[in-house]
Chain A
C-alpha cells in the first residue's frame, strides 16, 4: 500500500546552515506530495506541495522537487533560521493522506 518514509530526527543545526530532510514514498498512480510544518503547540500548516513529477514546490526559502524516478520529495533550505525550529512532516495524497513520522528540527544561534 501507499506509504511515506521520512528521515528520523532530531536534527540540530546552527543558524545559516544548509538543511536537507529526506522523504521517500511508495504509491501506485500519481499522488500529490506535501510538506507540512508544526510549530510547538500548534496544528500542521502546509509548507509546500507538488502535484506531478518534476514539479518544484517552494515557500519561505524551502524547496522540494517531486522525483518520480527516485520516488523522493526531499525538503531543502539553503540557510536556516532559529524561527525554522519545528517538526516537519512529509505527506502523500492519493485516495487518502499518508504522513511520515515527522522530523524535529532545532536551529541554534
Chain B
C-alpha cells in the first residue's frame, strides 16, 4: 500500500516556465488537497477536490490550476512560474472532509530562479 505518492521530488524552474506536479493516492479517498509549505509559515491550502470532476480554491490559489479526472490522481499545474512559488508542495488525501485524518505525500521541492 503506497499511500500518497508525488513526483518529482525536486525541480528547478526558470521564471516563466510551467510544470505539473503529480499526485496519486491508492486509498480510494474522495478528498484530495494541495498545500505549500514555506519556512516558518506552516502549511497553506492551495486547492482541494471533493471527488472526480470537482475542485475548489483554497487560501492561496493564484498562479496554480488543478484538475481531477480520476479518484486516484490530482495534478497541480504551475503556469508562468515566479520566484514567489519557490516552496515545498505537499499533496494529501482523506476519506472525508474536515474532521478526518489527512494523509500526506513525501513532497515536491520546487525552486524557481
A-B contact count (CB 8 A): 51
Most chain A beta-carbon neighbours within 10 Å: one of B41, B43, B58, B105: B43
Contact B42 A93 (CB under 8 A): no
- Residues from chain A with Cβ under 8 Å of B98 in the complex: 32, 93-97
Which of these, A32, A46, A95, contacts B103 with CB under 8 Å?
A46
Q: Is A69 close to B, CB under 8 A?
A: no
Given contacts A93-B99, A96-B48, contact A43 B42 (CB under 8 A): no
Comparing A13-21, A58-66, A76-84, A99-107, the segment that makes contact with chain B is: A99-107
Main secondary structure of the interface of B (DSSP, over half): loop
By the criterion CB–CB under 8 Å, are B48 and A101 in contact?
A: no
Contact B97 A101 (CB under 8 A): no
Min CB distance B81 to A, Å, is 22
Of B40, B41, B45, which one neighbours A96 at CB under 8 angstroms? B45
Contact A42 B103 (CB under 8 A): no
Complex: chain A residue closest to B9, CB-CB: A41
Given contacts A93-B98, A96-B48, 16 further A-B contacts (CB under 8 A): A32-B98, A34-B101, A36-B104, A42-B106, A43-B104, A43-B107, A46-B101, A49-B101, A89-B42, A93-B100, A96-B45, A96-B98, A97-B43, A97-B102, A99-B42, A99-B43
